[in-house]
Amino acid sequence: MNQIDLSHRHAVVTGGAQGLGLSIATRLVASGASVSLWDRDADALKLAFGQLQAPSVLSTETVDVSQPDSVMTATENTIQRYGKIDILVASAGIAGPNFKSWDYPFDAWKQVIDINLTGVFLCCRAIVPHMLRQNYGRIVNISSIAGKEGNPTASGYSAAKAGVIAFTKSLGKETALNNIAVNCITPAAAKTRIFDQVTQEHVDFMLSKIPRGRFLKVDEVSSMVAWLVSEENSFTTAAVFDLSGGRATY
């Protein structure tokens, strides 16, 4: 494992209690950062806190990223405790159900958009002003290859993740002169609990589209994110990085 130096940096990882978020948080702690895990699942946060075994550099916040007040309260609590936020990894997300677009339930559509897209916006909206004041920041928003290609029976998820790509490009351009790098990644599917939310048919479809012939490993995501949120990433911003196993064509 390459050692990325994140000492003296504080990171917020949303969706940090499990899956990609927990793997990313683990890698950031191993790289020397202190980390605040944000997640709406309080029980999962307790388990993650114990699993990481780094109480001196770790804290948790029960946060619903789709709710502005919840995000602002968590931001204020984190700033009060650590004095700053240098890094944001917006990883919180849900898959939503599998339906053809014309059958997609409105309530499910709204929930997917609220968490996967509006949640990214709200976290950036709350944290970026602090980064502007310190003239430093690194943000990685977790999109998906579905945001580039659009997966059938997953229109809500695909649309939300496409929105994350466009939002990242906009924000990255707005903060480019402030030593704030804003990038996103577009992973192929990784075996996490999000698989519990989709049909086996959809799982099989996603695997069939990956030339590597396997699903992404969460640690492979963490490796890329660790560099993107480091000071070494001093030029790249408003960009999209693929972890699609060869699936992406642009």
157 given a catalytic annotation: yes
Both tokens of 166, joined, read 């466009």
Distance CA 175, CA 231 (A): 16
The secondary structure of 128-170 as a DSSP string is: HHHHHHHT-EEEEEE--THHHH--TTBHHHHHHHHHHHHHHHH
Q: Which of 82, 104, 136, 157 is catalytic?
A: 157
Burial class (CB in 10 A: 0-12, 13-18, 19+), 86: buried
User: DSSP assignment, residue 99?
Assistant: B
Distance CA 124, CA 141 (A): 9
Q: Which amino acid belongs to residue 83?
A: G
Catalytically active residues are 157
